[in-house]
Chain A
Amino acid sequence: MNQAQVREDIIKNVNAIISQALKVDEAKIQPNSSLIRDLGAESIDFLDIVFRLEKAFKIKIPKGELFPEKILTDSRFVKNGHVTAAGVEELKQKMSNVNWTEFAKNPLVSNLGNLFTVGMIVDYLSDKLQTASK
């Protein structure tokens, strides 16, 4: 299987998992769909999705690797419910495919969940599986 086929396979699996976990029609799931804003995910769903991904792809997703939780519970990076400038820089490194311009205007932690997209999961898995196969 070439890289494009592998990615297609990942997309198909991720869409199926998200559809099952969030009880949404697969047709509604797009790469830029926000898990919270567009697909209605709650905290429990994040846990559910991580477990389903681990099972389907036979991988272990270490704490904070897929969703950057360590940053969001670190007082250096979060103050009064806002991500600090240093925190935004950290997040940019962890989530390089995200457009940070809009978020940086009002960096509320509660807005951050809107940036967790289906595409972000696909990118993460593509990188992880590629690294594992080397």
Chain B
Amino acid sequence: MPHRRVRRKASHISLGVDIVEWKKAKIFYETHRVRLGSFLTVPERRFVENERRPYEGLAMIFAAKEAVFKALGASWMGVDGFRRIKVRPVSPKIFSYHPSRGQKLRITFKKSDRHVLACCGPLSVMTL
């Protein structure tokens, strides 16, 4: 069954920020590696597997999806949110998300020793 895409009018889109601990993503990756295909798209999965440390790619994907969810002001992320929100890695440090035709959100990242922080917002804001 096709997944529903989370849609929001442009006026309802704000900034969304999320932070994920590398360690948490590492444990998740090591425990559920074979299950990644059940909630990641092919490009998302490819991004994870192409990273030198795949769990870091996974942490970025998790943080990006949660940041999109927050930017859209959606009511409940839950388990299914990780499937419904499909991000597109466009470069090692920039992802995009298209809530509807003509709309584009950009997701950028900041990394520290312990965490990755994702920030998501409309393209016009994120390129300032």
Contact = CB atoms under 8 A, between A and B. Distances in A.
Interface of A: 43-44, 46-48, 50-52, 63-64, 67, 69, 72-73, 78, 81, 109-110, 112
Contacts, number: 52
B28 A109 contact: no
Taking residues whose C-beta sits less than 8 angstroms from the other chain, chain B's interface range is: 20 to 34
A81 B83 CA distance: 21
Interface string B16-39: 000010001100100110010001
Contacts of A64: 80
Contact of B76 (A51, A52, A109): A109
Nearest to A66: B79
B56 interface: no
A122 to B, nearest CB: 18
Contacts of B81: 43, 69
A67 B79 contact: yes
B80 A69 contact: yes
B109 interface: no
Interface in B37-82: 39, 62, 66, 74-82
6 contacts: A48-B31, A51-B31, A51-B32, A63-B80, A69-B76, A73-B4
B114 to A, nearest CB: 15
Contacts of B39: 47
Contacts of A109: 75-76
Interface string B99-117: 0000000000000000000
